[in-house]
Amino acid sequence: MICRICGSDKITRSHRRGMEKIFKYVYPRTPYRCKECWSRFWIFENPFKTNLSKAIAGLAACILILLISWPFLAFNKKEPVQVEKKESSGSLFLTRGSGNQKPGTIQNDTQEQEDSIAGYEETDPEQTIDQTIDQTTEQLAEHEDKTESVPEISAQETETIPETGTIPAEDEIQPDSSVSSIDTKQLENKTNREIETKSQPLLQFRGLEISEADDSVNILLKTDKPKEKHKHFFISNPLPPRIVIDLPGKWKHLGNSVFKTKSHIISRVRVGKHSDFFRIVLDMKTDKRLFPSFKESPQGLIISIKE
């Protein structure tokens, strides 16, 4: 044996590495190595040199043939279908035979089928037609009796309803004039208020300043223009009591909504805008009912509370 690269005859068998140990059954070649150039190459060798390898190959071939021919074996076939012809009925009955079935069972089934066919042929068709005619006549007679028993509606009992669907004048409900006048006034006031608020431009609330004294607190509501028109009321229940001030109009506010104070009269001031007014809520610390005073300012409105 000579090296294919350098032509040297100093060649020795090489060891199989990694996956080559598994591929030796699929790729029957033997690795060799040259001692001069240290090149590695493979040479094909007959895998069926020994009798053991030949026996293993034959056994594998037999197993493969058995697996291929398994679906076509005799013990896997289905049982044959028996066809019997009946002269009395003129039709074919298919019966599938089984190993556990007794020979007398098929004859019993066929005998029952012949008896049923014979019983069907013995019935007289004219007699069945007469029975159906009698049944229909009886049903028609019962239906006529029911229609005759329905009472007729006289012309006096019927009521004429006009095509427009209106209620007669005597049955109409007369509305109360006082209630309708109150409702119309409320609607007019509401619509007028909405028209006024829509026509007015947006007012801007810029914030507030709180100045404290020994027995009083002054709160400056900063707006874009002086504001004197307002509404206020006192809420005593639930505690703590609160003073609520409403400024009419449409407002714009983008700042804080809660302002805390260190006063012994007011704990905090809350503000919030609504659809047609701006509300200021003063949360009191004392349970006494205090009355605020209001004064117009160039910057907005001043609220003074004295204890």
Highest mean pLDDT among 32-46, 58-72, 274-288, 289-303: 58-72
**DSSP secondary structure letters along 69-129:** HGGG-GGGSPPPEEEEE-TTT-SEEEEE--TT--HHHHHHHHHHHHHHHHHHHHS-HHHHH
pLDDT of residue 65: 92
pLDDT of residue 155: 47
Nearest to 265 by CA among 217, 201, 231, 218: 217
Average of per-residue pLDDT across 268-280: 88
Q: Does domain 198-306 have CATH number 2.60.40.3500?
A: yes
66 or 171: which leads in pLDDT: 66
d(CA 16, CA 86): 77
Local confidence band at 9 (pLDDT 50, 70, 90 cut-offs): confident
Q: Is 200 helix (H, G, I), strand (E, B) or coil?
A: coil
DSSP class of residue 243?
E
pLDDT of residue 189: 74
pLDDT in tens, 145-171: 665 555 555 545 445 555 555 554 445
- For residue 249, give every residue at least 6 positions away whose Cβ sits within 8 Å of its Cβ, in sequence order, or none: 197, 200, 203, 276, 277, 278
Burial (Cβ within 10 Å: 0-12, 13-18, ≥19) of residue 222: middle
- For residue 153, give every residue at least 6 positions away whose Cβ sits within 8 Å of its Cβ, in sequence order, or none: none
Spatial contact of 92 and 82, defined as CB atoms under 8 Å apart: no
**DSSP secondary structure letters along 15-61:** PP-TTHHHHTTTS-EEEEEETTT--EEEEE--TT-SHHHHHHHHHHH
pLDDT in tens, 180-230: 566 777 777 777 766 665 666 778 788 888 888 778 888 888 887 776 678
pLDDT in tens, 84-107: 554 444 444 444 444 454 544 444
Q: Is 62 helix (H, G, I), strand (E, B) or coil?
A: helix
Average of per-residue pLDDT across 62-74: 86
Report the alpha-carbon angle 102-104-105, nearest 5. 75
pLDDT in tens, 296-305: 888 888 888 8
Going from N- to C-terminal start, the domains of the chain cover 11-68, 198-306
Hunting for tokens 């009321």 — which residue is that? Answer: 233
**DSSP secondary structure letters along 204-239:** EEEEEEEEE-SSEEEEEEEESS-----EEEEE-SSS
Nearest to 236 by CA among 228, 244, 246, 224: 244
Residue 136 has pLDDT above 80, yes or no: no
d(CA 4, CA 8): 8
Local confidence band at 285 (pLDDT 50, 70, 90 cut-offs): confident
Average pLDDT score, the chain:
72
Residue 247 has pLDDT above 60, yes or no: yes
Give Cα separations from 5 to 28, 34, 52 (angstroms).
22, 9, 35
Local confidence band at 63 (pLDDT 50, 70, 90 cut-offs): very high
Hunting for tokens 């019927």 — which residue is that? Answer: 158
pLDDT of residue 287: 80
Local confidence band at 59 (pLDDT 50, 70, 90 cut-offs): very high
Average of per-residue pLDDT across 20-42: 78
Residue 281 has pLDDT above 80, yes or no: yes
Lowest mean pLDDT among 54-58, 126-130, 216-220, 256-260: 126-130
pLDDT of residue 216: 83
Share of the chain above pLDDT 90, in %: 2
